[in-house]
Structures are given as structure tokens and as C-alpha cells.
Amino acid sequence: AQSVAQPEDQVNVAEGNPLTVKCTYSVSGNPYLFWYVQYPNRGLQFLLKYITGDNLVKGSYGFEAEFNKSQTSFHLKKPSALVSDSALYFCAVRVLYSSASKIIFGSGTRLSIRP
Amino acid sequence: EAQVTQNPRYLITVTGKKLTVTCSQNMNHEYMSWYRQDPGLGLRQIYYSMNVEVTDKGDVPEGYKVSRKEKRNFPLILESPSPNQTSLYFCASSLSFSGANVLTFGAGSRLTVL
């Protein structure tokens, strides 16, 4: 079955430290991978995506993600966390069929940055 | 401003009382989709539409209906709501269903069914 897994419900990091939010996927074919962020009482906002090419993708607000095909992972990273990064983060994969497209979301990881 | 607009943002209703959650986008997007968000389950797709008059079921379509008569609008209809449909609902759209197009989300509609 095609799926996306975010193994950590919550990640706690001190401000200024590096952060990693993990994501692994299991899909057939070549996936397009995304990270979205949800702030309280808001809809999801796009952070970054991987289509092809360089395995390190840079996105909004200083975030980046590393695509690893052999480990089927797409972990979200930031070198120095800010309190304002505290939010709910979703990994997603878009799978293309011949005449349709399906987007699968992970269960989400709550990132908490302490001052 | 390019956006997806959902209404109502908050709604409390009773079992069996039909309701419609509207969704409208101003970006001329072909693809639109409805999701529900429940704790620990992430976002699950209810229905999606690849273009006008083309709709299809997502992962959790039971108890819901949709229509796509115009490109900009994609209402979600609950004919006979039940308590297990209490959830946070999101409408989203993207330029098309192919490629790596990014989804633009509405602000969400929190529905409580008593």
C-alpha cells in the first residue's frame, strides 16, 4: 500500500539548535515530495518540494529537505530553530497515474521550539 | 489576492440536518480537493475534481457529496451529518492534477455535529 509516515508525533528543540522532522514514504513510481506547515487556526502553507535533481532542496523560512532514494526518506531540516517555527508539519507525496493524481499526507509532526 | 475561500469557518449542527460547506478559488485552478483533518490521522482526502464536471472519490467519501459546475467553486455537501463527521475540513486547489503543482489551502472549516 502506498503511504507516507512521520514517525514522530512531536519534536522538541531549543531555539538556536538544528532541527529535523522525519518523513519516509512507500509509493510506486517516481514520487513528487512536499512539505507543508500549519500554524494555529490557519490552512496548510507550502514549504518546499522535490521533483528531481539535487537531493537537497531549499524552501521558505530557511527550511531545507534532503531526499534519500535508497532510504525512501525526505527529512525536513533547519540549521538554527526559531520559536516562530513552532507549528504542525506535514509531509506529502503526489503520485501520478495515467489519468489521475493522488496526494497522500503523513499524520503530521508537531514541532515545539523552546526559548 | 490569490486565495481559496471556505465558508463557514465554524459550524455547530445536529445529526441529520443537511449542510453545505462552500469553497471558492480565484486562481483559475483546474484541480480542487476536500480533506478532513483528525488528530493522529493527518489529512485524508474526501473528494477531488480534476476539472469542471469531473469529480472522483478520495479515501473517505462516505457521507459526503460534491459538485463542480463552475471552475471556481467546489462545495462539500453533507446530506445527513453524523457525529463521526465532526472534524476540521480543508479545501485546496492547484493549477492542474499533473506535475508537481503546489496545493493552495483554504483556512479551514471546523464542523461539530451533535
Helix (H, G, I), strand (E, B) or coil at A59: coil
H helices present in chain B, as ranges: none
Closest by CA position to B46, among listed B7, B102, B88: B88
Provide the b/e sequence for B89-102 (b: ≥16 CB within 10 Å): bbbbbbeebeeebb
Spell out the residues 6+ positions from residue B5 whose beta carbon is closer than 8 angstroms to its own: B22, B23, B24, B25, B26, B106
Closest by CA position to A63, among listed A49, A44, A73: A49
Give the tens place of pLDDT for each residue, A4-30: 999 999 999 999 999 999 999 998 877
Question: Which chain B residues have any C-beta within 8 angstroms of a chain A C-beta?
Answer: 4, 31, 33, 35, 40-45, 50, 56, 90, 92, 97-100, 102-108
Closest Cβ opposite residue B45 in set A32, A41, A103: A103
Instruction: Flag if B102 and A34 touch (Cβ within 8 Å).
Output: yes
Distance, in Å, from the CA atom of B27 to the CA atom of B107, rounded to the nearest integer, reads 16
Give the other-Cβ count within 10 Å of B14's Cβ.
Answer: 10
What's the full length of chain A, in residues?
115
How far, in whole angstroms, is CA B37 from its chain's centroid? 11
Q: What pLDDT sits at residue A87?
A: 96
Residues B88 and B35: beta-carbon distance below 8 Å: no
User: Rounded to the nearest 5°, which phi and psi values hold at A54?
Assistant: -55, 130
A89 touches chain B (CB under 8 A): no
Residues of chain A contacting residue B5, judged by C-beta atoms under 8 Å apart:
none
Q: How far is B71 from chain A (nearest CA, A)?
A: 18
Per DSSP (E only), the strands in chain B are 4-7, 10-13, 19-25, 31-38, 42-51, 54-57, 65-66, 76-78, 87-94, 104-105, 109-113
Instruction: Flag if A96 and B56 touch (Cβ within 8 Å).
Output: no
pLDDT at A94 over 90: no
Residues A88 and A22: beta-carbon distance below 8 Å: no
| Rounded mean pLDDT, B63-71 | 97
Residues of chain A contacting residue B98, judged by C-beta atoms under 8 Å apart:
96, 101
Q: What pLDDT sits at residue B101?
A: 86
* pLDDT-based confidence at residue B100 (cuts at 50, 70, 90): confident
Q: What pLDDT sits at residue B40?
A: 83
Give the tens place of pLDDT for each residue, A48-59: 999 888 899 999
Looking only at Cα atoms, what is the longest distance across chain A? 48
